[in-house]
Amino acid sequence: MNFHLVSIFPHYFESPFASGLMGKAVENGLVAFDHVDVRHFAGGIHKSVDDRPFGGGPGMLLKLDPMAKALDSIESPGRILMLSPRGKPLTQARARELSAEEDLTLICGRYEGIDERLLDLYPIEMVSVGDFVLNGGEAGAVCLVEAVARLLPDFMGHTDSGEEESFSAGLLEYPHYTRPDDYQGLVVPEVLRGGNHGKIEEWRRECSLESTLNDRPDVLPEASLTVEDIDFLRTLSRTRLGRNLYIALCHYPVVNKFGEKVAVSVTNLDLHDMSRVARSYGLGGFYATTPIEDQKALAEQLLNHWKKGAGSIANPDRAEAFSKVKVFDDIEAAVLDIETQTGQCPRLAATSARLDRRKHAEPALTYADVRKWLEISPVLLVFGTGHGLAEEVLAKAEGILRPIRFLDDYNHLSVRSAVAIIVDRLIADEY
Ligand X SMILES: C[S@@+](CC[C@H](N)C(=O)[O-])C[C@H]1O[C@@H](n2cnc3c(N)ncnc32)[C@H](O)[C@@H]1O
Annotated binding site: 109, 129-134
Stretch that binds ligand X, among 9-17, 135-143, 146-154, 382-390 (CB under 6 A): 135-143
* Count of H-run helices and E-run strands, the chain: 18, 17
| Binds ligand X (CB under 6 A): choice among 132, 186, 198, 359 | 132
Shortest Cβ 107–ligand X spacing (Å)? 7
**Residue closer to ligand X (CB basis): 121 or 236:** 121
Does 130 help bind ligand X (rule: CB under 6 A)? yes
**Residue closer to ligand X (CB basis): 54 or 132:** 132
Shortest Cβ 104–ligand X spacing (Å)? 15
Shortest Cβ 87–ligand X spacing (Å)? 6
On the CB side of 261, CA atoms within 13 Å amount to 7
Nearest 5°: phi and psi at 82?
A: -115, 125
Shortest Cβ 138–ligand X spacing (Å)? 8
Shortest Cβ 265–ligand X spacing (Å)? 53
Shortest Cβ 81–ligand X spacing (Å)? 10
**Residue closer to ligand X (CB basis): 140 or 284:** 140
| Binds ligand X (CB under 6 A): choice among 29, 55, 123, 133 | 133
Strand partners, 7: 37
Task: Scan residues 183-202 and list those touching ligand X (CB under 6 A).
Answer: none
Strands 399-401 and 347-351: parallel
H/E stretch holding 5? strand 2-7
Shortest Cβ 28–ligand X spacing (Å)? 29
Of 252, 187, 200, give the one whose Cα is nearest residue 388: 252
The CB-based long-range contact list for 212-219 (8 Å cut-off, 24+ gap) reads: 212/171, 212/172, 213/238, 213/430, 214/238, 215/172, 216/172, 217/430, 217/431, 218/430, 219/167, 219/170, 219/171, 219/172
**Residue closer to ligand X (CB basis): 143 or 421:** 143
Shortest Cβ 111–ligand X spacing (Å)? 6
**Residue closer to ligand X (CB basis): 50 or 229:** 50
Does 316 help bind ligand X (rule: CB under 6 A)? no
Does 137 help bind ligand X (rule: CB under 6 A)? yes
Quickly count: other Cβ atoms within 10 Å of residue 371's Cβ.
Answer: 17
| Binds ligand X (CB under 6 A): choice among 10, 66, 77, 113 | 113
Alpha helices in 194-282 (DSSP H): 197-215, 227-235, 268-280
Q: DSSP states of 279-325 as a string? A: HHTT-SEEEEE---HHHHHHHHHHHHHHHTSHHHHH-HHHHHHHTTE
Does 86 help bind ligand X (rule: CB under 6 A)? yes
Stretch that binds ligand X, among 39-47, 68-76, 102-110, 330-338 (CB under 6 A): 102-110
Strands 261-262 and 254-255: antiparallel
Does 81 help bind ligand X (rule: CB under 6 A)? no
Strand partners, 347: 379
Task: Scan residues 376-405 and list those touching ligand X (CB under 6 A).
Answer: none
- Can you say whether residue 195 is alpha, beta or left, with left for phi > 0 and alpha for psi between -120 and 50 degrees? left
Does 83 help bind ligand X (rule: CB under 6 A)? yes
Shortest Cβ 62–ligand X spacing (Å)? 8
Stretch that binds ligand X, among 106-114, 242-250, 384-392, 402-410 (CB under 6 A): 106-114
Distance CA 190, CA 205 (A): 16
| Binds ligand X (CB under 6 A): choice among 66, 77, 109, 399 | 109
Stretch that binds ligand X, among 82-90, 178-186, 252-260, 360-368 (CB under 6 A): 82-90
H/E stretch holding 261? strand 261-262
Type of residue numbered 263:
A
Does 54 help bind ligand X (rule: CB under 6 A)? no
Confirm if 26 and 128 have CB atoms less than 8 A apart: no
Of 262, 255, 321, 325, give the one whose Cα is nearest residue 291: 262
Q: Which residues bind ligand X (CB under 6 A)?
A: 83-86, 108-110, 112-113, 128-130, 132-137, 140
